[in-house]
């Protein structure tokens, strides 16, 4: 279907943002919001990466004096908290924000203003942690701050509060984002895209969002309990008063383990999209992949205790969690073999995004194998709190999530910017990052087996750890260099890259149907879908559904399983209220570090902001069920 | 992003100017080896205005059994949280009152100098502490060897 230029002009008038600063502050365009998320998170990844390099410098020789123990504590706490809460999870959400409506052929997310609110609140969390760091109130107890160490007796001041409150910020933002993604995927699919014809990417994002909804409340609850213990002297974690310090660990890891998969599952979505496109065939075992992701999502909630084997829980309990942890290797293995089968049987070519997938498979499998080792309660008692764990967690998080993310970045970069990244520099960055990473982290397995504990700021000379530490430091320096090459490539290509056109890779899913970069209204018409790979229809134009308004913001709502069109829904336009509401919530969160009165008093501006947000913008009904009483 | 950055940077710059050093934590060899030279000793703020040093003083307050007599229900001179100091409330005054404690023992014979500094900072800080917060902290520290529970070096 060839759209008429006057139609495009009208759509653009309807969907574009107001110009200038006001447009910047009020936008509800999912692409702009997602781009902000991604830029902020990538900047933070750079900063936290610099912290890592600094720590590697400190550890490169025994008894180094680059860092004091306190500075080392602050560095790894800031590094871990930033990477887990402010980089990995938000980046995955941002990719969903950017891609889900495009892949659905929809004009925006289901709740456009909630998306804007989510970003502003996330940004509040970023500022909370990093402004506090700038004025030397850096959390210093690691990325999980167990009481009693983080309780009122052993953590005077506000370092632990900053950490706990940063989590509240990011988790509210994550919940807002997840609800939005799940509602969009379930209710805004184009006609014909039944659940059975939904791309694996959308399944992955849907499942990760639902996991977020189930797991994040646990960590918000537990950090709120910690703040209450510290601020108003409640006794949740005070053993002497009948509280339970282990409760913190249970609630934290009930979130913390699913979180690992909330980061990994979207990555499986990236991998599936990239593998399908570059293998030139429909994914091998589509249903197996979807079911594997589903079972990872379910199993993820049943194995949090493997983070707590050394706590001293009952033996039988530990055995159960050992079994559950090892079981997750089955769906993860199925996924890997489905991808390999697709690659092996397709007409595969290997540009940069595909190289990242190979890097992912190799690295993630090593991380998975060390995961099976640490899943054994008996072996874990030896390995826990050593560098073996540091190696394992970086192999699964960087290898399992960040490599696919880099691949996804290269794959969808032309869609976002309209330009191709340099293949040559992309390959250089790939070799440096994957090589440097493996050189940097593989020796840590050995260091851990040799007994080097994690979170130590230095070590004596005669331990025999010098050489491996130096290799690790060299490896991380190489990987960071590769990261800089990657960033430089992305920046230069933004202005100088070759124009890509709408569909440079011959992609299989709907986001490639629209222009690059996509216009404010995403796609001129609502497509109709009749296969898993709607773009691979032999070059015929996509069938389209008409009837959605173009002079006002309107989206199509469809049924959950069959994607039958149900009704047309008004879609919210630009508004300043999400920002105002986020500011009010931020003020309340920050003030509640200092006084409990912040909660009742701070609720008033939040109420006012939400009232403004939900102020009715159409006259009262004169007829029908909602008819106004005279 | 740039405009928002400017609006945010202004208060941040203000905060940084008023930078709170009371959160600073220096872990290392003890600084003071001697008693304070007077209430205006330049080393005083590093202890009195530092939350970590005050909190360490609070732990020693229980380890050395101070809390046995100086608890919340103590009366007269033994009540340390009423803000009235019989032998002067200056840093050196309180330090001396602990070091040459009357009645005996004089704690300078058993307590290292830096811990005396931390104890002094804690004692002078006590009037600002809420009783319920103090009780909560005590609960967390119940497992530590304190006062008569102490059974020798580990």
Residue B131 lies in a domain: yes
Residue B17 lies in a domain: no
Instruction: Return the CATH number at A466.
Output: 1.20.210.10
Please say if the pLDDT value at position A133 is more than 50: yes
For residue range A395-404, list pLDDT tens digits in order.
999 999 999 9
What lies within 8 Å, CB to CB, of A63 at 6+ separation is: A458, A459, A460, A461
Residue B37 lies in a domain: no
Complete DSSP assignment for A100-166: HHHHHT-SS-SSHHHHHHHHHHHHHHHHHHHHHHHTT----S-SS--TTTTSTTT--SSHHHHHHHH
Within an 8 Å CB–CB cutoff, is residue A70 touching chain B?
yes
Please say if the pLDDT value at position B17 is more than 60: no
d(CA A25, CA A128): 20
| CB-nearest partner of B28 from A36, A68, A240 | A68
The encoded tokens of residue B111 equal 């307590």
Beta carbons of A153 and B27 less than 8 Å apart? no
For residue range A243-283, list pLDDT tens digits in order.
999 999 999 999 999 999 999 999 999 999 999 999 999 99
Distance (Å) from the alpha carbon of A230 to chain B's nearest alpha carbon: 8
- Number of domains within chain B: 1
Contacts 24+ apart (CB under 8 A), A610-616: A610/A581, A612/A577, A612/A580, A613/A113, A613/A575, A613/A577, A613/A578, A613/A580, A613/A581
Q: Write down how long chain A is.
A: 630
Question: Among residues of chain A, what percentage have pLDDT more than 90?
Answer: 92
Distance (Å) from the alpha carbon of A599 to chain B's nearest alpha carbon: 19
Beta carbons of A134 and B16 less than 8 Å apart? yes
Complete DSSP assignment for A66-98: SS-HHHHHHHHHHHHHIIIIIIIHHHHHHHHHH
Within an 8 Å CB–CB cutoff, is residue B28 touching chain A?
yes
Beta carbons of B140 and A134 less than 8 Å apart? no
Please say if the pLDDT value at position B4 is more than 60: no
Q: Which domain holds residue A86?
A: 29-574
Q: Considering only CB atoms, which chain A residues are within 8 Å of B59?
A: 153
Residue B109 lies in a domain: yes
A95 and A266 in contact (C-beta within 8 Å)? yes
Q: Which domain holds residue B116?
A: 100-144
Question: Among A542, A505, A540, which residue's Cα sits nearest to residue A523?
Answer: A542
CA A326 to each of CA A143, A294, A303, A336, A391: distance values in angstroms, whole numbers, following the listed order: 25, 16, 9, 16, 18
Among A324-328, A624-628, B55-59, B73-77, the range scoring the smallest mean pLDDT is: A624-628
A554: DSSP letter? E
Residue A21 lies in a domain: no
Q: Considering only CB atoms, which chain B residues are within 8 Å of A235?
A: 136, 139
- Number of domains within chain A: 1
Per-residue confidence at B21, pLDDT binned at 50, 70, 90?
A: low
Residue A15 lies in a domain: no
- Average pLDDT (A128-136) is 95
Beta carbons of A233 and B130 less than 8 Å apart? yes
Among A8-17, A512-521, B30-39, the range scoring the smallest mean pLDDT is: B30-39
For the purposes of burial, counting CB atoms within 10 Å of the CB of A552, is it exposed (0-12), middle (13-18) or buried (19 or more)? exposed
Please say if the pLDDT value at position A26 is more than 80: yes
For residue range A494-514, list pLDDT tens digits in order.
999 999 999 999 999 999 999
Instruction: Name the average pLDDT for chain A.
Output: 94
Per-residue confidence at B7, pLDDT binned at 50, 70, 90?
A: low
Q: Considering only CB atoms, which chain A residues are within 8 Å of B23?
A: 136-137, 157-159
Beta carbons of A151 and B15 less than 8 Å apart? no
Beta carbons of B51 and A136 less than 8 Å apart? no
Whether the link from the prior residue into B75 is cis, omega within 30° of 0, is no
Q: Write down how long chain B is.
A: 154
Q: Considering only CB atoms, which chain B residues are within 8 Å of A239?
A: 142-143
What lies within 8 Å, CB to CB, of B88 at 6+ separation is: B94, B97
Residue B118 lies in a domain: yes
Beta carbons of A68 and B54 less than 8 Å apart? no
β-pairing, A554-558 vs A526-527, is: unpaired
Cα atoms in the 13 Å half-sphere on the side-chain side of A529: 30
């Amino acid at each position: 279907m060839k759209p008429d230029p006057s139609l495009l002009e009208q759509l653009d008038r309807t969907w574009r943002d107001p110009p200038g600063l006001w447009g910047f502050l009020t936008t509800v365009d999912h692409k702009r919001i997602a781009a902000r998320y991604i830029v902020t998170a990538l900047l933070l990844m750079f900063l936290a990466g610099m912290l890592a390099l600094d720590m590697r410098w400190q550890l490169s020789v025994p008894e180094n004096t680059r860092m004091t123990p306190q500075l080392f504590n602050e560095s790894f706490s800031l590094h871990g908290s930033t990477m887990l809460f402010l980089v990995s999870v938000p980046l995955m959400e941002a990719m969903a924000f950017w891609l889900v409506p495009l892949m659905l052929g929809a004009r925006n997310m289901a709740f456009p203003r909630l998306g804007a609110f989510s970003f502003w609140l996330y940004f509040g969390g970023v500022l909370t942690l990093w402004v506090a760091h700038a004025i030397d109130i850096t959390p210093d107890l690691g990325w999980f701050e167990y009481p009693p160490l983080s309780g009122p007796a052993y953590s005077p001041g506000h370092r632990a509060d900053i950490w706990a409150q940063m989590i509240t910020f990011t988790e509210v933002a994550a919940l807002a984002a997840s609800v939005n993604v799940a509602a969009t995927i379930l209710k805004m699919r184009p006609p014909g895209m039944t659940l059975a014809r939904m791309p694996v990417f959308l399944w992955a994002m849907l499942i990760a969002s639902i996991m977020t909804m189930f797991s994040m409340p646990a960590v918000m609850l537990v950090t709120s309990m910690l703040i209450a213990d510290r601020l108003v002297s409640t006794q949740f974690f005070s053993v002497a008063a009948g509280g339970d310090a282990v409760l913190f660990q249970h609630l934290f890891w009930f979130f913390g383990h699913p979180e690992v998969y909330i980061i990994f599952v979207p990555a499986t979505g990236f991998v599936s999209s990239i593998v399908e496109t570059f293998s030139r065939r429909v994914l091998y075992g589509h249903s197996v992949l979807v079911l594997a992701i589903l079972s990872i999502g379910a199993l993820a909630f049943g194995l949090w205790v493997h983070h707590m084997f050394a706590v001293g829980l009952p033996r039988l309990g530990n055995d159960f969690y050992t079994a559950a942890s090892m079981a997750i290797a089955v769906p993860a293995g199925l996924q890997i073999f489905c991808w390999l089968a697709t690659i092996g049987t397709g007409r595969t070519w290997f540009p940069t995004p595909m190289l990242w997938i190979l890097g992912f498979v190799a690295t993630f499998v090593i991380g998975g194998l060390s995961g099976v080792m640490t899943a054994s309660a008996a072996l874990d008692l030896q390995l826990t709190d050593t560098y073996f764990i540091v190696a394992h967690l970086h192999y699964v998080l960087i290898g399992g999530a960040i490599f696919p993310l880099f691949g996804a970045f290269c794959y969808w970069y032309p869609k976002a910017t309209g330009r191709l990244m340099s293949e040559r520099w992309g390959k250089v960055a790939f070799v440096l990052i994957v090589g440097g990473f493996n050189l940097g982290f593989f020796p840590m397995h050995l260091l851990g087996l040799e007994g080097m504990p994690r979170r130590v700021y230095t070590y004596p000379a005669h331990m025999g750890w010098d050489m491996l530490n130096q290799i690790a430091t060299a490896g991380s320096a190489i990987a960071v260099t590769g990261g800089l090459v990657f960033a430089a490539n992305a920046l230069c290509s933004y202005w100088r890259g070759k124009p890509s056109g709408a569909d440079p890779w011959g992609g299989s899913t709907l986001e490639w149907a629209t222009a690059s970069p996509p216009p404010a209204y995403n796609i001129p018409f609502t497509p109709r879908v009749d296969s898993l790979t709607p773009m691979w229809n032999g070059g015929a134009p996509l069938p389209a559904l008409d009837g959605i308004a173009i002079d006002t913001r309107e989206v199509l709502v469809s049924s959950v399983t069959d994607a039958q069109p149900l009704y047309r829904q008004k879609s919210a336009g630009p508004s300043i209220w999400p920002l105002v509401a986020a500011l009010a919530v931020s003020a309340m969160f920050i003030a509640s570090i200092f006084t409990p009165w912040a909660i009742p008093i701070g609720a008033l501006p939040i109420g006012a902001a939400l009232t403004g947000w939900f102020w009715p913008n159409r006259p009262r009904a004169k007829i029908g069920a909602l008819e106004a009483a005279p | 992003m740039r405009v928002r950055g400017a609006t945010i940077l202004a208060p941040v710059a203000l905060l940084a100017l008023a930078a709170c050093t009371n959160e600073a934590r220096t872990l290392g060899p003890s600084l003071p080896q001697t008693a304070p030279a007077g209430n205006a000793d330049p080393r005083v703020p590093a202890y009195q205005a530092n939350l970590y040093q005050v909190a360490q003083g609070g732990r020693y307050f229980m380890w050395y059994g101070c809390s046995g007599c100086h608890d919340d229900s103590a009366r007269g001179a033994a009540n340390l949280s009423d803000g009235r100091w019989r032998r002067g409330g200056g840093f050196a005054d309180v330090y001396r009152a602990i070091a040459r404690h009357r009645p005996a023992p004089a704690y300078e014979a058993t307590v290292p100098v830096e811990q005396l500094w931390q104890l002094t900072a804690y004692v002078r800080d006590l009037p600002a502490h809420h009783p319920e917060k103090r009780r909560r902290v005590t609960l967390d520290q119940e497992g530590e060897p304190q006062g008569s529970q102490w059974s020798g070096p580990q």
